[in-house]
């Protein structure tokens, strides 16, 4: 006979609906461990059907220890799961895994196994690990937007002001720059953008009859603007649009940056 205590224990360990817990225990003749395996197999079958479901919700978490940042980003199907305490517990465990792993790749493999064997059984949603990484440098600052779905880290030299760097991280979440400096934008990217802009100009009746050299000068101006708008240092600073980021913080102080998004 399956007792209420057995059902509660299985429910506490898996977070599966009480009725499903009872059915699994009946099938397992009261064996808790076997019941968990039965539920896992049912989840695997369900997961196969949900595998293509979009995961547009989720959470990004950044944990700081001295000059080290641990970043974890996991997407899921619903906001209900993203704000669940169990989801946050899972993120914390993933960070602990990264602390003990030799590389990001190793940590993701281990974390993905834990996600599949334990947490998807509890939350019954398709989830994807988008990032699980460790960043360490002289100065590393970060910003996580209030919705926990966009974040950024900025790596800088030892003498860089931390408060200013945090504001730059906030700027990055808002503008999503492609590179640090305009010189880092590849010729391939510029050539593709130039081709697009030239096509648009040729379709504009206002440009009909303009000499090729004039169009070329216009294109060159557009390319300069394109590079400035897509490089962090030359973007207009969101907190003070009258200046550029490189005017707010020394241009050679920033080593690198990365933006994370669900």
The per-residue pLDDT for range 4-22, each reduced to its tens digit, is: 888 888 877 776 778 888 8
User: Which CATH number characterizes residue 13's domain?
Assistant: 1.10.8.10
Instruction: Residue 204: give the domain boundaries.
Output: 182-247
Q: What percent of the chain stands above pLDDT 70?
A: 95
Question: Is 148 part of any domain?
Answer: yes
3-state secondary structure of 43: helix
Residues 168 and 61 both lie in one domain = yes
CA 94 to CA 98: how far, in whole Å? 6
CA 44 to CA 62: how far, in whole Å? 30
Residues 237 and 206 both lie in one domain = yes
Residues 42 and 69 both lie in one domain = no
Q: State the DSSP code for 54.
A: -
Domain count, the chain: 3
Residues 107 and 217 both lie in one domain = no
User: What's the pLDDT at 185?
Assistant: 95
CA 256 to CA 178: how far, in whole Å? 11
CA 236 to CA 242: how far, in whole Å? 7
Angle 198-202-207 (CA atoms, 0-180°, nearest 5)?
Answer: 115
- Helical H segments across the chain, by residue range: 4-14, 18-27, 32-50, 79-82, 85-100, 104-114, 120-123, 162-175, 187-203, 212-230, 245-248
Question: Is 113 part of any domain?
Answer: yes
- E strand or H helix at 255, and its extent? strand 254-261
Q: Are strands 128-136 and 139-144 parallel, antiparallel or unpaired?
A: unpaired
Which class for 14: exposed (0-12), middle (13-18), buried (19 or more C-beta within 10 A)? buried
**Residue 27: closest CA among 45, 46, 48, 41:** 41
Q: Is the pLDDT of residue 200 over 70?
A: yes
Residues 165 and 234 both lie in one domain = no
Please write the tens of the pLDDT for every residue from 94-146: 999 999 999 999 999 999 999 988 888 788 788 999 999 999 999 999 999 99
Question: Is 103 part of any domain?
Answer: yes
Please write the tens of the pLDDT for every residue from 221-236: 999 999 999 999 999 9
CB neighbours of 199 closer than 8 A, spacing ≥ 6? none
Q: Can you read off the two tokens belonging to residue 207?
A: 């440009």
Is residue 138 within 8 A of residue 66, CB to CB? The reply is no
User: What's the pLDDT at 251?
Assistant: 85
Residues 156 and 66 both lie in one domain = yes
Residues 170 and 125 both lie in one domain = yes
User: What's the pLDDT at 182?
Assistant: 96
Question: Is 122 part of any domain?
Answer: yes
Residue given tokens 């305009």 in the structure block: 182
Bigger pLDDT: 32 or 108?
A: 108
**Span 55-83, average pLDDT:** 95
Domain final position from 112, 146, 175: 175
Residues 170 and 187 both lie in one domain = no
Is residue 184 within 8 A of residue 231, CB to CB? The reply is yes
CA 53 to CA 125: how far, in whole Å? 9
Question: Is 255 part of any domain?
Answer: no
Q: Can you read off the two tokens belonging to residue 59?
A: 């959470």
Beta bridge partners of 254: 156
Report the interhelical angle of 4-14 vs 32-50 (nearest 10°). Answer: 50
CA 232 to CA 181: how far, in whole Å? 6
User: What's the pLDDT at 14?
Assistant: 72
User: What's the pLDDT at 51?
Assistant: 56
User: What's the pLDDT at 37?
Assistant: 82
């Amino acid at each position: 006979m399956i007792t209420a205590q057995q059902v509660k224990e299985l429910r506490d360990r898996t977070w599966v609906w009480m009725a499903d817990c009872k059915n699994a225990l009946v099938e397992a003749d009261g064996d808790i461990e076997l019941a968990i395996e039965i539920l896992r197999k049912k989840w695997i079958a369900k997961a196969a059907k949900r595998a293509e479901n979009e995961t547009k919700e989720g959470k990004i978490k950044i944990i700081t220890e001295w000059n080290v940042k641990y970043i974890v980003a996991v997407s899921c199907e619903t906001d209900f799961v993203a704000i669940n305490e169990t989801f946050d517990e899972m993120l914390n465990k993933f960070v602990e895994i990264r602390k003990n792993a030799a590389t990001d790749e190793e940590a993701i493999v281990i974390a993905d196994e834990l996600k599949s064997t334990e947490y998807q059984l509890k939350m019954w949603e398709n989830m994807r690990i988008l990032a699980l990484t460790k960043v360490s440098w002289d100065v590393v600052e970060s910003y996580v937007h209030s919705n926990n779905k966009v974040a950024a880290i900025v790596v800088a030299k030892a003498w860089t002001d931390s408060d200013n760097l945090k504001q730059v991280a906030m700027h990055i979440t808002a503008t999503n720059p492609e590179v640090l400096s305009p010189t880092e934008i590849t010729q391939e990217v510029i050539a593709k953008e130039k081709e697009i802009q030239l096509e648009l100009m040729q379709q504009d009746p206002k440009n009909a009859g303009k000499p090729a050299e004039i169009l070329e000068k216009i294109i060159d101006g557009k390319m300069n603007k394109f590079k400035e708008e897509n490089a962090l240092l030359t973007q207009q600073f969101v907190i003070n649009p009258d200046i550029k980021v490189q005017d707010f913080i020394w241009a050679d102080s920033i080593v690198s940056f990365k933006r994370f998004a669900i």
